[in-house]
Amino acid sequence: MNTPKHPQRKAYEDTVVIERLNDGKLRLQFSVDITKAAGWYKPTTPQKKIRPGLSDVPQNYTLLESKCLQIHLDFLNGCFDPTLVKYGIGKDRPQLVIVPPVKKEIRMLELYDKYVEYRGKDTSLNTHHQMKVTLRNAIEQAINTVGENALEIRNWLLSNRCNKTSKECLRFLSKAHKLGVKHGLCFVDPFDEMSSEISVNKTSNKFDDHEDIFNQQLSYTLEEMEAIINYGYGRKLNCAVLIEFLFLTGTRISEAIAIKWSDVNWERESLRIARQWSMKGKCFIPLKGTKNIPEHLDYRIFPMPKNYRLWNLMKSVEKRENQLDLVFINGNNNPISRIYIGDVWRGSEATGSRGIIPELIKQGKVSKYLSIHHTRHTFSCIQQNIYGIDSKVVSSWCGHHPEVNDKHYWETDREIKPGYGELPATQQMQESELDLMKEQNQLLQQQLEEMRKLLQDRDK
């Protein structure tokens, strides 16, 4: 008989061998013409091979080996059955059991790649990029180091990656295996509930989209804001106009970069904020929180009152032609890079750039360092606390916390205008109080004068 290591070995007389075919099936080759021995021999079509209909799997190969041994012994003893019914591989094959091929489990990294591809259309561009690059690299390195043991992968990730990355890797691996079980690519999810056991401490210098935008500790004062804006213009920075725009509107950086000239409505004195710019994807992506906007709007409106500060700022921006029709562009007519803005804001040792905030802290004009994202907090706090604009209106301008805003605030009445360029509410209150005191003083003087006249007339 042949062995798996020698599938092409010559079949000697009175023997039968097993052949592996390219279509994944097994075939028996006899050393004699079994059709002649059975009495129905046709000279033009010698029948020395037969396909029992079995797949090429270890169980079936072992089964045929036992049959071949029995056939060989019958050849030697002269009791060979040419109909093959005796061996269960004849015309009826009454004794032969066909074993289905064993389905091999997919490799772990391949399963994860299939899951990432599966989630490509329903995840944000940044999250998908993280799954495809950062998390995949960590998972691949873990598998190459400790193999495909789930517990060993978990321990390796916790020892070589931060808790947040480890948690995300285990979470997506679990989801990938659940999808694999559903579609028959694997049998179990060895990462089930592993990610929930890992705690991630939120750092104080990172903020998500659900933070309190009215927290004054996370904002600059009005005087500090003006110092930052003036410093940017004084150094003639390319992004000085963008920095002032961020302070005047409270938009996210990605939203400000994505503002197009077609979004500027001079007639209605308003700006339309309709998209974000993704650095990783080099494309536009939808706004955050649009699924909660009433009537399924995919934009929000920001008032730009005529001849006020924001209006004048937009008028001062040079309109240069570019493929994307963007307002804020660099020297190459491309979207301004967030990396460049960050280097200008905080400084960079690599480029030798002096940061705006570190320099102003040295000069004593700014009290603390906050990231450029906190231009958003500064806008919100100044509008509410200094100019007295309702927090719901400010939230609607910023596109923040849609669950606490009334529906009509999403299309805010443009008669409600940002307070920049106007007299602060506190100062208005002080002046109105002074005017009232002056009127009361004049009235008191008149009353005193009348009393003097009355006394003089009485004495006469």
Mean pLDDT of 289-310: 71
Residue 445 pLDDT class (50, 70, 90 cuts): confident
| The model scores a pTM over 0.75 | no
Residue 292 pLDDT class (50, 70, 90 cuts): very low
According to the model, what pLDDT value does residue 347 have? Answer: 87
Q: Compute the Cα dihedral for 202, 207, 210, 213 and give only its sign.
A: positive
Task: Calculate the alpha carbon distances from 44 to 35, 37, 193, 238 in Å.
Answer: 12, 15, 67, 89
Mean pLDDT of 343-367: 87
Percentage of the chain exceeding pLDDT 90: 28
Which of 185, 130, 110 minimizes the C-alpha distance to 138? 130
According to the model, what pLDDT value does residue 209 have? Answer: 44
* Helix, strand, coil percentages for the chain (3-state, nearest 5): 50, 10, 45
Mean pLDDT of 324-353: 86
According to the model, what pLDDT value does residue 422 have? Answer: 57
112-160 pLDDT per residue, tens? 999 999 988 777 777 888 888 889 999 999 999 999 999 999 999 999 9
According to the model, what pLDDT value does residue 424 have? Answer: 55
Query: How many C-beta atoms surround the C-beta of residue 90 within 10 A?
Result: 18
| Residues pairing with 276 in the sheet | 285
According to the model, what pLDDT value does residue 277 have? Answer: 86
d(CA 49, CA 28): 6
366-419 pLDDT per residue, tens? 999 999 989 998 998 888 888 888 888 888 888 875 454 444 444 555 567 787
Contact between 399 and 376 (Cβ < 8 Å): no
Which of 235, 228, 255, 232 minimizes the C-alpha distance to 338? 255
Higher confidence at residue 77 or residue 10?
77
According to the model, what pLDDT value does residue 10 have? Answer: 47
Q: Provide the CB-side half-sphere exposure for 391 (13 A, CA).
A: 10
Which of 86, 176, 94 minimizes the C-alpha distance to 131? 176
Mean pLDDT of 429-434: 56
Query: How many C-beta atoms surround the C-beta of residue 362 within 10 A?
Result: 10
Q: Compute the Cα dihedral for 441, 447, 450, 456 and give only its sign.
A: negative
Question: Is 307 exposed, middle or buried (CB count within 10 Å of its CB: 0-12, 13-18, 19+)?
Answer: exposed
Percentage of the chain exceeding pLDDT 70: 76
| Residues pairing with 20 in the sheet | 26
Strand 300-303 to 270-273 pairing? antiparallel
d(CA 100, CA 31): 28
Q: Compute the Cα dihedral for 289, 295, 296, 300 and give only its sign.
A: negative
Mean pLDDT of 199-216: 57
Contact between 242 and 256 (Cβ < 8 Å): yes
Which are the contacts of 6, defined by CB distance < 8 A and separation ≥ 6?
none
11-59 pLDDT per residue, tens? 445 677 888 887 778 888 876 665 555 443 344 444 567 777 778 888 8
Question: Is 178 exposed, middle or buried (CB count within 10 Å of its CB: 0-12, 13-18, 19+)?
Answer: middle
Most confident by average pLDDT, 13-27, 353-367, 430-444: 353-367
First to last CA, the chain: 152
According to the model, what pLDDT value does residue 94 have? Answer: 44
Mean pLDDT of 269-292: 77
Mean pLDDT of 331-355: 85
d(CA 173, CA 158): 15
d(CA 452, CA 459): 11
According to the model, what pLDDT value does residue 5 have? Answer: 39
Most confident by average pLDDT, 74-88, 89-103, 290-304, 420-434: 74-88
According to the model, what pLDDT value does residue 4 have? Answer: 41
